[in-house]
């Protein structure tokens, strides 16, 4: 019997990168998974097909998480499709390299709208809908402890997510629901490899104790642990999955 047999999971931002790896890992562990995407319908279909080929079940739902009404529709559809919800993984986020001097109000608001506001209201829906004994996993970043000149807004947004975790864990603990954070370091996604120069990639590898960048599967494995039965006594915590970089 797989660790998550019979469990129903919702993953935000599941069509590529770390989100895709999370969807596939939870499904491999026996969960039926719904995930949302914003624009990349073809990529979302690929995830559904990959999960199906591996013997699992996944459903792709288009949603704009910045629109709170659309976010609530996502939860409505996921709950209906799955027949209930046991697990939420708040993965969807945007990262922008913004200096203090060059950040516009529009850039600031766009980043905070998805990373903070949407995460908060997804948590609100989860608190209302998750069955007792459920799991919530929020994805943050080691940017909250590694002070980089062009990550002030991004790091601040993820710090808010970490604080949401600590408070939510207290709010729902009486129902046996755990709430935790996973904070990845640099992860070798298609987007990272496409935008990072060889020098930049080498710079990100250097601080790790293991001498490499993370892989999406590395993060998905940590999320799967926190979503599973073996993490029943872990809540309100932040696991830094960064290869020893911090």
Report the C-alpha gap between 177 and 151 in whole angstroms.
Answer: 32
**Contact criterion met (CB below 8 Å) for 180 and 137:** yes
Per-residue pLDDT tens for 169-228?
Answer: 999 999 999 999 999 998 988 777 776 678 877 887 888 999 999 999 999 999 999 999
Per-residue pLDDT tens for 2-24?
Answer: 899 999 999 999 999 999 999 99
Domain 8-233 is classified in which CATH homologous superfamily?
NAD(P)-binding Rossmann-like Domain (3.40.50.720)
- Which H helix or E strand runs over 183? strand 178-184
| Strand partners for 136 | 88, 179
Please provide residue 133's backbone torsions phi and psi, each rounded to the nearest 5 degrees. Answer: 80, 15
Q: What pTM does this model have?
A: 0.95
Domain extents in the chain = 8-233
| Percentage helix, strand, coil for the chain under 3-state DSSP, each rounded to 5 | 50, 15, 35
Give the tokens for residue 43. 């990529």
Q: Output the CA angle 78-68-111, nearest 5 degrees.
A: 110
Which residues are catalytically annotated?
A: 154
């Amino acid at each position: 019997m797989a660790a998550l047999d019979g469990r129903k999971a919702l993953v935000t931002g599941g069509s590529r990168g770390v989100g895709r790896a999370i969807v596939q890992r939870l499904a491999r562990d026996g969960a039926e998974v719904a995930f949302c995407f914003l624009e990349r319908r073809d990529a979302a279909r690929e995830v559904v097909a990959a999960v199906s080929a591996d013997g699992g079940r996944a459903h792709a739902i288009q949603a704009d998480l910045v629109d709170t009404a659309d976010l609530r529709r996502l939860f409505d559809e996921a709950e209906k499709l799955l027949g209930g919800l046991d697990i939420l993984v708040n993965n969807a986020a945007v990262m922008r390299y913004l200096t203090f001097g060059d950040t516009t109000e529009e850039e600031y608001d766009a980043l905070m709208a998805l990373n903070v506001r949407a995460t908060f209201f997804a948590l609100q829906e989860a608190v209302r809908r998750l069955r007792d004994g459920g799991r919530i996993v929020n994805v943050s970043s080691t940017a909250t402890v590694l002070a980089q000149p062009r990550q002030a807004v991004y790091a601040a947004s993820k710090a808010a997510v970490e604080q949401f975790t600590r408070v939510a864990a207290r709010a729902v603990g009486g129902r046996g629901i755990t709430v935790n954070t996973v904070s990845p370091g640099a992860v070798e996604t298609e987007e990272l490899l496409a935008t990072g120069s060889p020098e930049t990639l080498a710079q990100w590898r250097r601080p790790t104790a293991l001498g490499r960048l993370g892989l999406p599967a590395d993060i998905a494995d940590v999320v799967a642990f926190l979503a599973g039965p073996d993490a029943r006594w872990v809540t309100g915590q932040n696991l830094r999955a960064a290869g020893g970089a911090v």
